[in-house]
Homo-oligomer: A and B are copies of this chain.
Amino acid sequence: MKDKLFLMIPGPTPVPESVLQATAKHPIGHRSSEFSSILKEVYADLKWFFQTQNDVYIFTASGTGAMDAALSNILNPNDKVLSLVMGNFGERWAKIAKTRGAEVETIDVPWGNAINPDTLKERLAKDVNKEIKVVTLTHNETSTGVMNDIETLCKIIKEHGALSVVDGVTSVGAVPVKTDEWGIDILVSGSQKGFMIPPGLSFLSCSQRAFEAYKNCKYPSFYFDFAAHKKSLEQDTTPFTPNVNLIFGLHKAFEMLKSEGLDAIHARHAKLAKGIRAAIRALGLKLLVEDDAIASRAITSILPPDGVSVPQIRSTLTKDYDIVVANGQGQFKDKIFRIGHLGFVSERDAITAIGALEATLLKLGYNFDSGSGISALIKSLAETKVTA
């Protein structure tokens, strides 16, 4: 049905109507005092959302832009980088580091698994001369729906003396990311995720140690330059023309997010993920990530039942029920489908998704106990303590 489409992909995520309206205002001058006063609040809100006292820079760019910014401001050719890879986005860190001329080593685990902190510990123990300058890692691997234990991993990295560079694109705003407490040097995220606004902005928090590394970077990026962004931030502005309209939207979204509260936002994501996982199990489908402890709270990866294909499920969900879910990426293309429940997603949306998934499976001839998915979901939702 025209204009009915509802996104349950990991990004873009749904955007509240009031936020969309805020983005549709006539632009104002980006050097005006009116705009500066909005930016001042947004910079403060970003620190709250990133749980940090570090500066959080705003880039007019997508999440990959912030990832590029992270490494192109701290790496010199021949620097040693260790990349922890468990999916598509972990691989991206390694690719970016290579474009900076770094010597990149990876610790790879099969897609669908998390990084074992002991493996990292062992590898770093062998780095007796402290040659590894940077360790890149992914908090929530969007391609698989696995969540790493960033707290443990970053503490190990810090203890070793390397810099931790973390992809928080689909984790910031979905789960606690205690930037300062866990010692994360660089954390990046993107607007079309937990921030509940359209794509086009990305964010990067930079520790004092990371900024020191920047000072020794020979050819930092001009557009993403840390010092330029730091200086501008201190003056409630941006070094170059920002996406003024998305800043309006972000300002509005933060109003909503703050009124909900950080703990409540995290609890909502946990509750939805738990409920959806219960539903999938009740339907007799297989979760890619069986272990609840490493399951993402932003996205759930599901294997189709025998005799039903991922393209069939996705296309029926879209054509008949106006719901978009994501395909797998890379080696998981057409092997899994991924339901996003990140950002502006409510219990009603989870009920809608599971209901429509049941209808889809019925249509595609899968033999299951109809209603069991919804039943498991609503039971789980009712049982999970509401902390809002």
Contacts and interface: CB of A to CB of B under 8 A. Distances in A.
A190 interface: yes
Main SS at interface, chain A: loop
Contact of A65 (B12, B198, B218, B240): B240
Contacts of A9: 29
A171 interface: no
A243 B199 contact: yes
Given A15-B26, A30-B12, A65-B240, A198 B245 contact: yes
A166 to B, nearest CB: 17
Contact of A240 (B15, B25, B27, B63): B63
A64 B99 contact: no
A222 interface: yes
A199 B61 contact: no
A61 B63 contact: no
Considering residues A5, A25, A27, A190, which has the most beta carbons from chain B within 10 angstroms of its beta carbon? A27
Given A241-B11, A244-B199, A99 B220 contact: yes
Contacts of A244: 12, 192, 198-199
A88 interface: no
B30 A5 contact: no
Contacts of A72: 221-222
Interface in A344-386: none
A308 interface: no
A324 B35 CA distance: 13
A189 to B, nearest CB: 13
A96 interface: yes
Contacts of A23: 23-24, 245
Interface string A32-66: 10000000000000000000000000011111110
Contacts of A101: 218-219
Contact of A219 (B32, B77, B239, B240): B77
Q: Give the copy number.
A: 2
Interface residues on A, range: 35 or more
A324 B29 contact: yes
Interface string A193-218: 00000111000000000000000001
Contacts of A64: 222-223, 239-241
A243 B198 contact: yes
A150 interface: no
B324 A245 contact: no
Nearest to A28: B5
Interface string A168-201: 0000000000000000000000101000001110
A95 interface: yes
B68 A32 contact: no
A62 B222 contact: no
Nearest to A219: B101
A62 B77 CA distance: 27
A20 interface: yes
B100 A219 contact: yes
Given A60-B60, A62-B242, A65-B240, A27 B223 contact: no
Given A101-B219, A198-B243, A200-B242, 5 more contacts: A32-B324, A68-B223, A96-B222, A199-B245, A200-B200
29 contacts: A12-B241, A14-B26, A15-B26, A20-B25, A20-B26, A23-B24, A24-B24, A27-B199, A30-B199, A32-B324, A60-B200, A62-B241, A62-B242, A63-B240, A64-B222, A64-B239, A64-B240, A64-B241, A65-B223, A67-B223, A95-B222, A96-B222, A101-B219, A192-B244, A198-B245, A200-B200, A200-B242, A200-B243, A200-B246
